[in-house]
Every structure is written in C-alpha cells, then in structure tokens.
A and B are shown apart, each in its own frame.
Chain A
Amino acid sequence: MTLKGKRVIAIGERDGIQGPAIAECVRTAGAEAVLVTTQCYV
C-alpha cells in the first residue's frame, strides 16, 4: 500500500505509538494525516 497521496487516519495508542508520531511519519511519505487520535485501550 503506497502512502503517497493518501489521506491517512492515524489511530495511535497511549501505550504504543501515539497519533501525532504516526502523523509525522506518514507526512514524510507524502500522505496527508486527516484525522489524528490517540486511544487508551483497556
């Protein structure tokens, strides 16, 4: 799956990789982070 040109929903987790970190990564690949969230799964 190519990230370039995609709109990405970044669903991070507090105890894993958080949403803003995912968003920053995918932006460097040419994707647009359109929704960014960090969940707390219990």
Chain B
Amino acid sequence: MDLESQGEIKRFAEQFGSEGLMVVLGSPDPESAEVFARTVTEGDPSYAGPLAAVPLGLPVYHILEDEIKAQVDPAVYERQVGLMEMVLDADAIVRGVQAVRVSVRRSR
C-alpha cells in the first residue's frame, strides 16, 4: 500500500478511533488482498510505511465476499463490480482475506 494512504488511514484511526470502522478491499488477486489486509490489521508487512509495526486490527473484508455483496443494492453491485466479479478468481481472493482474519483472531 502506498505510503500516503497508510498515513491517511493511521491518522484517521488515531483521530476518530477504530470503533465502527472497517476496511473493504477491491484487490484483483490473493497476494495483494493479503498484503493490504495485513497492513490494516497487523501493520505494514514491508516495514516501509507509517503503518509499520502499527497493528490497527481493523475488520477487513473484500467487496467480492458474499457477506458484503448480500448487503449491497444488487443493481449498483452489478454496475460497479459485476464485470470484475466475472473475470477475477473470487474464491482465491476471498480465501486470502479470510486467512488474514483467522490469523489475526488467533494472535489475540
């Protein structure tokens, strides 16, 4: 994740708190989904950005997860996500994000 965005997320979480705050990703593959999910939970895995060693522990989901999709207006979802949903490997991406959530829960 770029350093500017890491800084914005860190400032936002510090200023307003993490209560009621969550992250929704739009990554196109499991690798980037996992890196971004780890960045907002355990801290920047590359140790390069403002979130290095900052475990925000934010709930993180992917827009392709059924749990999220089910809550979105179907017509808007189809228009905004439908095409990418067809071409991306949703199962693998979702597994990557879920694995991070499980690993964060276990470490607490």
Contacts and interface: CB of A to CB of B under 8 A. Distances in A.
Interface residues of B, number: 38
Main secondary structure of the interface of A (DSSP, over half): mixed
Contacts, number: 118
B28 interface: yes
B72 A19 contact: no
Main secondary structure of the interface of B (DSSP, over half): mixed
A9 B72 contact: no
Q: Give the size range of A's interface with the partner.
A: 20 to 34
Interface in B62-86: 63-64, 67-68, 71-73, 76-77, 80-81, 84
Given A16-B88, A29-B71, 4 more contacts: A3-B71, A3-B72, A28-B76, A39-B36
